[in-house]
Amino acid sequence: MQPLFEIVPNFSEGRDVTVVDEAVAAVERCGLRVAHRTSDPVHHRSVLTVFGSGGQLLEAAVAVAAVTARRIDLRTHRGAHPRIGALDILPFVPIAGATVDDAAALARRAAARIWDELHIPSFFYDVASRGEPRTLADVRRGEFEGLAARALAGEQPDVGDVIAHPSAGAIAIGARPVLVAFNIVLDSADLSLGRRIARTLRERDGGLRTLRVLALALEDGRVQISCNFTDVAATPLSRVVGVVERMARRHGACVASCELIGLLPRAALVALAAHALGAEVPVIGQSAR
């Protein structure tokens, strides 16, 4: 069987549906189908989930980069979510018959193609990094507006001889295992509380293993705890929601809603349902025992 991969392009447009439609059409012209799409006008951001062979996804990645570079100008872009590029993040993920190192090789090929064809530079993160792995937060520090200062400080992208395209910025290109993006919204406008919760939760600050967390202020005045789970078996969704709920209540707030971005493994969904129901949840097509 041919190795199966996934790409999850995150791009900086969540309000103009025609841009998202055009990106989807570009993927489909590569012979692929978009498994899932989501857009958020507050974050001003959209996410596609696409499965295919390495060669197909390489073509699709370049095609999406071309659409976003033509349709998005970060010089006038404003949204709640941090970003350095029109196509902000481009992770390659092994799904079946492949390793993360295989995905990293694809990520590097994509970065080279995007530079050669579109003149957009790339920074590598996670497994695609050369030398000491960098996190996405490392790559995206200062956002698009901070790229000029990074260039003045002598920093260079991993691919490309300029640090930013004038309007499309740069792309964070990585390789990683399956990741689950999950947002928790508080019924509170207290961003300092959100940041306290984020520091408590995220792995790099001594929190829960395999968890990356940001606190973001939404336009409606509420605070969002934006979570990336790099291993939902190690850190279940239910555990994080419980911690957020307890911390929020200590400060007079509570969880207003939760939101899944993209897809998640079946096992994670079953575990979440079992926790919510307090009982074992059988999976269709499998024995309930």
**Together in a domain, 214 and 165:** no
Residues 24, 6: Cα–Cα separation, whole Å: 15
Q: Are 283 and 266 in contact (CB under 8 A)?
A: yes
Structure tokens at 11: 């791009």
Q: What is the pLDDT of residue 283?
A: 55
Q: What would the mean pLDDT of 91-120 be, rounded to a whole number? A: 97
- Is the model more confident about 264 or about 199? 199
- Is the model more confident about 13 or about 208? 13
**Together in a domain, 74 and 124:** yes
**Together in a domain, 166 and 186:** no
Domain presence at residue 282: no
Choosing from 81, 119, 165, 251, which is the catalytic residue? Answer: 81
Domain presence at residue 288: no
Instruction: Report the percentage of the chain scoring pLDDT > 90.
Output: 77
**Together in a domain, 28 and 162:** yes
CA distances from 18 to 9, 33, 65, 169, 203 (A): 16, 17, 15, 21, 37
Residues 169, 149: Cα–Cα separation, whole Å: 13
Q: Are 227 and 210 in contact (CB under 8 A)?
A: no
CATH, residue 263: 3.30.70.670
Residues 214, 201: Cα–Cα separation, whole Å: 10
Q: Indicate if the pLDDT at residue 28 is higher than 70.
A: yes
Strands 87-96 and 10-11: antiparallel
Q: What is the pLDDT of residue 289?
A: 35
Sheet holding 223-229, edge to edge: 211-217, 223-229, 180-186, 255-261
Which of the four pLDDT bands, split at 50, 70 and 90, describes residue 97?
very high
Domain boundary among 128, 156, 175: 175
Taking all residues of the chain, what is their mean pLDDT, rounded to a whole number? Answer: 92
**Together in a domain, 121 and 258:** no
What pTM was computed for the model?
0.87
Domain count, the chain: 2
What does residue 258 show for φ and ψ, rounded to 5 degrees?
A: -130, 155
E strand intervals along 86-140: 87-96, 122-126
Q: What is the pLDDT of residue 79?
A: 94
Q: What is the pLDDT of residue 23?
A: 98
Instruction: Report the percentage of the chain scoring pLDDT > 70.
Output: 95
Q: What share of the chain is helix, strand, coil (3-state, %, to 5)?
A: 35, 25, 40
81 an active-site residue? yes
Domain carrying residue 268: 180-277
Q: What is the pLDDT of residue 280?
A: 65
